[in-house]
Amino acid sequence: MKIIDFRIIGTGKDFFPGGYDAMPAFMDRYKQLYDFKRLCDLPMEDFITQMRQSGVTKAVLQAEYSYGDLNLLNQHVGETVKRHPDMLIGFAGIDPLATNDPVADLERFINMWGMKGLNLQPWVQGIYSNDKRLYPLYDYCQGKEIPVTIHASINFSITHKIDYSHPLYLEEVACDFPKLTIVANHAGWPWVNDMVAVAWKHPNVYLEIGGVSPRYMIKPGTGWETFLTYGNSVLKDQILFATDSIMPHERVIEEIDLLPFKDSVKENLMYKNASRILKLSDT
């Protein structure tokens, strides 16, 4: 089976300058849950080799901005993609509150680095995904058929509300931009029921499971029951495999077999849906 990881983040010293100890204090709880030391220490080239060995066909390397130099982050993503054009597709990161013209910034990253999509982390700026300051970006991406990935799950900052990423704010964006390809990072957990409802209503909304262990998803009481039920039927064309680089690919790919999905749905999850969004020639 072909595999597309719809969202990875960079690893090693370029993407984590200063290493593990320099990561922001607001990520302390997050760092306890996942092996971020591995991400900080593992050179990006070695990480890509490990992906290949695990059977990953392509991966979307996203400039997922949470702190640091945004221009440098996009540069590292762009340069890494240029070294591995057969393997990687780059998505730009934008801080909409740090610029007078976020659309011009996105165009610059597209022209400089060949970015094929946009990643937004509105909770980092302390805004909601339906904030009207984001609308010029949405309008531009809709017109250019550029997919947008948006954080739609818990954040681990002790100073930023979890509510910033609630999927019902994303639903307003889907209403206002019905032709915009919207990918909800982490599939909306812990609001999975609401996220599923939004995606069922809006066929341009996709649910991506990066950073979540499939073995965890099948455990009763974890909140993933609705995703597993509807993902196997009405949302089979709107679900995407991703790792967020947080867990080793070999482990996550092996655990996918535990999900109660039909074989055809697993193929959609692992490759076909992403291939269609990314407009790959073998779709």
What phi and psi, each to the nearest 5 degrees, are found at residue 57? -85, -45
Closest C-alpha among 12, 6, 75, 82 to residue 42: 12
Tell me what pLDDT residue 73 has: 94
Share in percent of the chain as helix, strand, coil (round to 5): 45, 10, 40
Domains in the chain, CATH or no CATH each: 4-277 (3.20.20.140)
* Per-residue buried b or exposed e for 178-189, using 16+ beta carbons within 10 Å of the residue's own CB: eebbbbbbbbbb
Q: Per-residue pLDDT tens for 180-233?
A: 999 999 999 999 999 999 999 999 999 999 999 999 999 999 999 999 999 999
User: Taking the mean position of all CA atoms in its chain, how far away is CA 234?
Assistant: 22
Share of the chain above pLDDT 70, in %: 93
Is it the case that residue 35 has pLDDT exceeding 80? no
Average pLDDT over residues 156-176: 94
Beta strands 117-120; 58-62: pairing state: unpaired
Q: What's 237's DSSP letter?
A: T
The rounded distance, in Å, linking the Cα atoms of 58 and 243 is 12
Q: Per-residue pLDDT tens for 92-126?
A: 999 999 999 999 999 999 999 999 999 999 999 99
Distances (CA, A) of 38 to 41, 127, 221, 278: 5, 31, 29, 29
The rounded distance, in Å, linking the Cα atoms of 244 and 274 is 15
